Amino acid sequence: MVSFAAGIGLLVMMAAHTVIAAVATRFFRIRLESTWGPAVYTVLLVPVALVASTLFLSGTLGIGADLGSTGMALMLMVVAPLALGYTIDVFWMPHPDEVELPERADG
């Protein structure tokens, strides 16, 4: 059975992973000018960052709960935050074409 503190740690990790996924998705959608680029980078690079964060937070720092299986850990720590972060970026944030970027200083 999961203790209260371990459950809170798990929820904090999931919230942090959702923020990482949303910010990374937003970054790729604003900076990449191709149609498929942001989706490909989001699907390939963000899970790597989430797995690395999971290994660091749960392994090194000991935060979170023992979920019993690798599949459940990947589902709760990578897939769910990635889907939620992408959904937040697509449906809640303004479209990237509406965002004004600063001029680049080429020099």
Which tens digit of pLDDT belongs to each residue from 74-105?
899 999 999 999 999 989 988 877 878 778 77
pLDDT of res. 52: 94
Nearest to 12 by CA among 43, 49, 54: 54
Rounded CA-CA distance 67/74 in Å is: 10
Residue 31 CB coordination number (10 Å): 12
Contact indicator for 86, 21 with CB cutoff of 8 Å: yes
Q: Where do we find the tokens 């900076």?
A: 31
Confidence (pTM): 0.82
Rounded CA-CA distance 20/5 in Å is: 22
